Amino acid sequence: MNVDLDVYSRSNLQPLITALGKNVFVLHAGRDKRTYSAHLELARNTKNADATIRRFCTLIEALAKAPRDLWNRAKVRDFNIGVQAGMDPHSYEIELEEGTVKAASEIHARIVFTVYAPETERKRT
């Protein structure tokens, strides 16, 4: 489906979002009790999850000191690959290159998979 960047921190993440600028689309940013979160997508399409994660890593690597420090202090930094399950095909592979996994690790991010249940048709009444 897509790759979201999910960041959770005790600090306001708006300076990080601002630094990423027009490169990202903000799905949600806000505060829940003492935790701030930002859920971002790339503003431009990429061909696959591998390319999306690499692009995000490039953006994070290019951050100035203050927003990069905010990134480094975050409690959670996840590249969340969303997969919509279905009955067909029987299986589906998502390949991540070794360099992509290394790039994510170097910026202290995790790669997470969220698998959504198959959508079912609603009965007509």
- How confident is the model over 15-48, as pLDDT tens digits? 999 999 999 999 999 999 999 999 999 999 999 9
- The domain segmentation of the chain, as residue ranges, is 2-116
Q: What is the pLDDT of residues 45-104, one digit of tens each?
A: 999 999 999 999 999 999 999 999 999 999 999 999 988 888 878 888 888 999 999 999
Judge contact between 84 and 1, C-beta under 8 A.
Answer: yes
- CA angle (58 as vertex; 105, 1 as ends), nearest 5: 80
Report the pLDDT value the prediction gives residue 74, as an integer from 0 to 100. 98
Who contacts 2 (Cβ-Cβ below 8 Å, separation ≥6)?
41, 52, 81, 82
Torsion angle of the four alpha carbons 98, 53, 30, 65, in this order, in degrees rounded to the nearest 10: 80
pTM: 0.88
CA-CA distances (angstroms) from residue 37 to 1, 5, 55, 88, 106? 21, 10, 20, 34, 21
Report the pLDDT value the prediction gives residue 108, as an integer from 0 to 100. 97
Q: Alpha helix (H) ranges present in 1-125?
A: 14-20, 49-61, 65-73, 98-106
Q: What is the pLDDT of residues 96-122, one digit of tens each?
A: 999 999 999 999 999 999 888 887 765
| Rounded Cα gap, residues 95 and 1, in angstroms | 14
- CA angle (45 as vertex; 113, 82 as ends), nearest 5: 15
Instruction: Say if residue 125's pLDDT is above 60.
Output: no
